[in-house]
């Protein structure tokens, strides 16, 4: 991981992202690029004034990071919409990772127009790192959410490529389907019959997970199986807490705005719930690592 873009709007949330980005840059000997986006859909005089002020602030921040932290740090101010400016800057710089601050938990706004975080993830062709937790050092444990598809395999390959899973205790979580459970609840089946059904489904999921891991050829990753008795997003977040995992890795898929409003997505559910850091691998990266759109995704 040679280059990290960290987006800042000069808020406390962004400060958390910068602190995490500095830790990552030190660990991987990466160059930091501070990026601030000025919304240019306003009077030109206002835009130019904000651009000038932002440039001075970023220059001071970059000098401080280089002087106090001993890290290589550049900066740039971009004109445009925040999510578009961040993704374009990362593309121009050829960044390996984009670090942004915690998800803004405003449900109504998220449904109607999306947040900068959501829009950045949907439009980026680079992995997005969401700095939710309070930066306190290197990670020790990560949880990778997987539906055992080609998309999920490509997600793990991408995370491995940028090095974030190196030297970590990594667990793969598969939330397996129990479609028959609801039908059984309505049927006159005994508790033993229901338990037998769940045991068979867990066994099936276990065999599929073993085959997935064998094809993936990743050593040292344990497997956790859980039934989808609650929402998948909730299961992922709860499992991360149970394991004391500081990092959640998840892939995303492209969905229409209407479908997102009706069904939501696992990724957005995790982003809006968890207090753990999240590495979200966007569709462009997943497809680049060998997945086919038809294979589906954890999203």
Per-residue pLDDT reduced to its tens digit, 217-269? 887 899 999 988 888 899 999 999 999 999 999 887 544 443 343 334 787 78
Q: Is the pLDDT of residue 112 over 90?
A: no
Q: Is the pLDDT of residue 277 over 90?
A: yes
- The span from the CA of 202 to the CA of 206, in Å, is 6
Q: Is the pLDDT of residue 137 over 60?
A: yes
Which is higher by pLDDT, 196 or 123?
A: 196
Q: Is the pLDDT of residue 31 over 70?
A: yes
The number of beta carbons lying within 10 Å of the beta carbon of residue 132 is: 23
1-138 architecture in CATH?
3-Layer(aba) Sandwich (3.40)
Q: Is the pLDDT of residue 81 over 60?
A: yes
Domain ranges of the chain: 1-138, 139-299
Tens of pLDDT, residue by residue over 4-24, are 999 998 888 889 999 999 999
Cα 198 → chain centroid: 31
The highest-level CATH class for domain 139-299 is alpha beta
Residue 62 — pLDDT band, cuts 50, 70, 90?
A: very high
Contacts of 104 (CB under 8 A, 6+ apart): 13, 110, 115, 116, 117
Helix (H, G, I), strand (E, B) or coil at 114: coil
Q: What is the mean pLDDT of the chain?
A: 82
Question: 139-299: same fold as 1-138?
Answer: yes
Tokens 């919409």 map to which residue? 81
Q: What pLDDT, on a 0 to 100 scale, did the predictor assign at position 294?
A: 36
Least confident of 62-76, 135-149, 179-193, 224-238: 179-193
The number of beta carbons lying within 10 Å of the beta carbon of residue 40 is: 16
**CA torsion sign, 183 to 188 to 194 to 200?**
negative
- The span from the CA of 202 to the CA of 132, in Å, is 32
Mean predicted confidence (pLDDT) in 46-73: 95
**30 backbone φψ class: left, alpha, beta (φ>0; ψ -120 to 50):** beta
Q: What pLDDT, on a 0 to 100 scale, did the predictor assign at position 116?
A: 66
Cα 38 → chain centroid: 24
Q: What pLDDT, on a 0 to 100 scale, did the predictor assign at position 89?
A: 92
């Amino acid at each position: 991981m040679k280059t990290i873009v960290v987006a800042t709007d000069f808020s406390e949330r962004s400060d958390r992202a910068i602190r995490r980005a500095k830790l990552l840059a030190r660990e991987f000997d990466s160059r930091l690029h501070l990026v601030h986006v000025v919304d240019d859909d306003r009077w030109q005089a206002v835009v130019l004034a904000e651009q000038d002020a932002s440039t001075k602030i970023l220059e001071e921040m970059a000098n401080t990071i280089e002087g106090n932290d001993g890290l290589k740090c550049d900066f740039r101010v971009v004109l445009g919409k925040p999510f578009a400016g961040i993704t374009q800057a990362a593309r121009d710089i050829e960044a390996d990772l984009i670090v942004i601050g915690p998800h803004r938990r405003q449900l109504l706004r998220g449904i109607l127009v999306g947040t900068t975080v959501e829009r950045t993830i949907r439009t980026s062709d680079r992995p997005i790192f969401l700095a939710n937790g309070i930066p306190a050092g290197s990670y020790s444990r990560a949880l990778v959410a997987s539906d055992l598809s080609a998309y999920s395999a490509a997600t793990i390959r991408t995370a491995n490529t940028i090095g974030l899973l190196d030297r970590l205790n990594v667990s793969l979580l598969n939330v397996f389907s129990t479609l028959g459970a609801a039908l059984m609840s309505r049927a006159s089946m005994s508790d033993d019959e229901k338990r037998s059904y769940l045991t068979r489904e867990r066994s099936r999921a276990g065999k599929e997970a073993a085959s997935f891991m064998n094809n993936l050829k990743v050593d040292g990753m344990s497997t956790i199986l859980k039934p989808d008795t609650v929402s998948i997003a909730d299961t992922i977040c709860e499992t991360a807490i149970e394991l004391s995992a500081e990092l959640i890795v998840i892939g995303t898929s492209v969905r229409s705005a209407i479908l997102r409003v009706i069904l939501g997505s696992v990724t957005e559910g995790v982003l809006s719930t968890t207090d753990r850091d999240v590495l979200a691998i966007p569709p462009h990266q997943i497809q680049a690592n060998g997945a086919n759109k038809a294979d589906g995704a954890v999203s």
